Structure 1
Amino acid sequence: MSQTKVRRRITIAAAAAATALAAGGILFAGQSTAFAAESSPVGYASLNGGTTGGSSSTVVTVTSASALKSALSSSTSQTVRVSGLITISGMYNVASNKTVIGVGSGSGITGGGLNLSGVRNIIIRNLVFRNAADDSINVQTNTTNVWIDHNDLSNGYDGLIDIKRGSDFITVSWNRLHNHDKSMLLGHDDGNSSQDLGHLRVTYVHNWFEGTNQRHPRVRFANPVHVLNNYYSNIGSYGVASTMNAGVFVERNYFENVANPTVTQTGDSDPGNLKVLNNYRVNSGTEQVRNGASVAAIPYSYTPEANNTVKATVTAGAGTGKI
């Protein structure tokens, strides 16, 4: 290839990247542009071999609880398309190598939730979660490489997206969480350091927390956790909590009507470490920080969105029907 053609390709790629950033995108290593509907995960779920989900050539569409339960637990690498709002009871186990995706903007699960335990390589996208009797999405027991993206979650009994028990390499992106108390737990118990230290690495990016109360996320032990370019609106108790010597980097988020954007202690847990950078605050309180030098460096390359554009980007792109 001639040098002229190489230069032209570089110039075109740079222009596309600049356009994406101006529109509210994030550039991560290996991506030329990024939009509200990424075709693959950014952040931690892109590491450790990546997160590809189930086979796109083996596809099953489910419309009933029994069919959903069977498809999720199958040992086959496959894509499970959920059509309609399916009522289930309890937690349905999801086996490794699955993509679970809603059809349209109103498909999903009500009455129960999804349990990911000791599995790997799972994508959960474009699903509505309502009225779970326990957690809406529970990621536990050394589960790795999970991408939870573009879902709409509310009115669960316990957590909406809980990640615990040594799980790792997870990205939570473009989700809308609303009408709920305890949104997202990262690390379930103060006494679980032996399993959790060195794990629980999660990227939270471009999520919309709308009128929720606490745990956005609430972190134990993990270091570093990356909370980037999320929009917090009308939060009750607090935004982000770092406890049990965790290390959390809260970067370029948009806090609106949030009295306590970040806290370094909650409940009976020991305090954690928390570093902030260029968050945008509207009618919101002061951020708590603690020993920011103890927050480890983020291990992937990225270019964040400007903090003052996050609200518009997230409200336009988060939730179902956007992929």
Structure 2
Amino acid sequence: MKIAAALSTLLLSFGCFMPGAKALNDCSLPTLSCPVVQSLLSQREGYGRSAAGGLDGTFVTVTSASDSGPGTLRDTLSGRGAKWIRFANDMTIDLKSQLKVRSGTTIDGRGHTIILHDYGLSITDHTQSVIVTHLTIDGRFKTIAQAVNIANFSSDIWVNHLDLSRFIDRLINVKSGSTDVTISWVKFHDHNKVMLINNLPSKDLFAFYDRDKIARVTLHHSYFLNTVQRNPRVQIGLLHAYNNLLEDWDVYGMSFSLEARATVEGNIFVNSTSRPCREPSVFATKEGPEMNYCKYIPRAAANAQLPNGKADEANYNGTVDQYGYQHDMKAFLRVRENLYVGDALQGIDDYHPEKVPTPPYCTSYEAPSLGLAARIRLEAGNTTQETPHAIDRCPAQ
């Protein structure tokens, strides 16, 4: 699977091919000679760039919008073997439980409006090489679940052009030994605790340091709108966040701590101390208490990022004597060229940037601007079209 992905990346490095209107019907198998496959794979970048999904498998079409049974998305996901899943028409699927995604799967919603309600996708337990693109996943605040849960040593995952909102738990997790993930052109909105890279299931904050330090995540050209916090929150793992737009968070934007290693560049932060609150009356939370965060808006703009280490400061100070930590409370940061609009203020600076590895890939990075912000507002999320911006390719080695 990794060999096929590497070959596809090499072949696609010579140029991109955008499909015509008939591309969806031009191929019998999802191979690199199929324009609709090639056009999507040509857009990969970041740590998840080796994700091949259902390349060289079979095409499978979802024909039923029921939760389960023949022709449903759940049914097509249940069988083994590489598969490129498409949809026969527009669908709204009311799910009764999480959908398990297996290795070698592409879920491709391009060309139709595909909406999943109440539950999302579970990409866990050593799952490898998954692509998910052009879906809306709306929890409607009904279940303690995640829109996309990437966990338990899963790797080579690319989630792209999703619209995610209104879950009681997080919209995206990347945790428990998972790595090589790219999150691109995703719209996150109307949600409390949005995204977590590694969580800490122990009072010993570094109990799983060796497991979780391998996490490598790229987050680019994504749009965080009317959220509360964790856009994202990063602990221990490695993050490259560039050209994202954060707009109108109610507590804080991004958070870094516990020797996370992050390159934070070219992002755009927009907020106002006097804007109206768009939260529901209360957010139900996994932890139990229902809360509303509107009262924090007047000072939220000053927290485009929480101060380095702040999110875990109390827990760190309260347990350091017990566990004798040899690791830093703060994250290692390389920060450059971010743009702050309105009342938004920068909250972090470089901290041991020499400990943050340079990302080993070429990107579609551009200097942040109001024009870029406008394009992200328009194009991030479950748009009907592909993103027509070819990335710069690294020279062949």
User: TM-score, with normalisation over the residues of structure 2?
Assistant: 0.68
Distance change in 2, residues 1:109/1:311 (3 Å): same
Residue matched to 1:310:
372
**Residue aligning to 1:54:** 54
**SS in structure 1 at match of 2:192:** coil
The residue identity in structure 1 corresponding to 2:243 is N
Farther-moved stretch of structure 1 (54-63 vs 91-100): 54-63
Equivalent position of 2:359 in the other structure: 298
> Which is worse superposed, 95-104 or 120-129?
95-104
**Residue 389 (structure 2) aligns with:** none
Q: Structure 2: how far apart are the matches of 1:80 and 1:246?
A: 35
The equivalences for 1:223-238 within 5 A come to 223=238, 225-238=239-252
Once the two structures are superposed, the pairs formed by residues 58-137 of structure 1 within 5 Å of their partners are 58-62=59-63, 63-66=65-68, 67-82=72-87, 83-102=90-109, 104=111, 106-117=113-124, 118-131=126-139, 133=143, 134-137=145-148
Q: Secondary structure at 1:153's aligned position in 2?
A: strand
Contact preservation (8 Å) 1:105, 1:127: no
- Distance in 1, Cα, partners of 2:101 & 2:130: 8
The alignment status of 1:43 with 2:49, answered yes or no, reads: no
Equivalents in 2 of 1:176, 1:252: separation in Å?
A: 18
1-structure distance, mates of 2:66, 2:42: 27
Change (3 A) 1:103 1:61: farther
State which structure, 1 or 2, has the greater radius of gyration over its C-alpha atoms.
2
Q: Indicate the residue corresponding to 1:193 in structure 2.
A: 209
SS in 1 for 2:227: coil
CA separation in 2, counterparts of 1:121 and 1:315? 28
Measure how far apart 1:220 and its partner are: 1.2
Identity %: 27
Q: TM-score, normalised by structure 1?
A: 0.83
Give me the whole-angstrom Cα distance separating, in 1, the residues matched to 2:262 and 2:230: 13
CA contact (8 A) 1:37 1:322 kept: no
How many residue pairs get aligned? The number is 290
1:322 equivalent in alignment to 2:385: yes
**One-letter amino acid matched to 1:109:** L
Shift of 1:238: 1.8
5+ residue gaps, structure 2 = 1-11, 19-38, 272-300, 317-328, 387-397
Secondary structure (helix, strand or coil) at the match of 2:48 reads: helix
The one-character-per-residue Cα deviations of 1:227-268 (angstroms, maximum 9, x if unpaired) are 000011111222221111111111001111143122322143
Instruction: Provide the secondary structure at the position in 1 that maps to 2:98.
Output: strand
Equivalent in the alignment of 2:261: 247
Distance in 2 between the 1:71 and 1:228 partners? 34
Are 1:260 and 2:303 counterparts?
yes
Name the amino acid aligned to 2:77.
L
Which residue identity is paired with 1:281?
Answer: Y
Q: CA deviation at 1:299?
A: 1.6
Matching residue's letter, 1:183: V
Distance in 2, Cα, partners of 1:126 & 1:186:
22
Q: Does 1:288 align with 2:348?
A: yes
Q: Give unmatched runs, 5+ long, in structure 1.
A: 1-28
Q: Kindly tell me: are residues 99 and 245 of structure 1, through their superposed partners in 2, closer, same or farther at Cα, counting changes over 3 Å?
A: same
The secondary structure found in structure 1 opposite 2:373 is: helix
Kindly tell me: are residues 319 and 227 of structure 1, through their superposed partners in 2, closer, same or farther at Cα, counting changes over 3 Å?
A: same
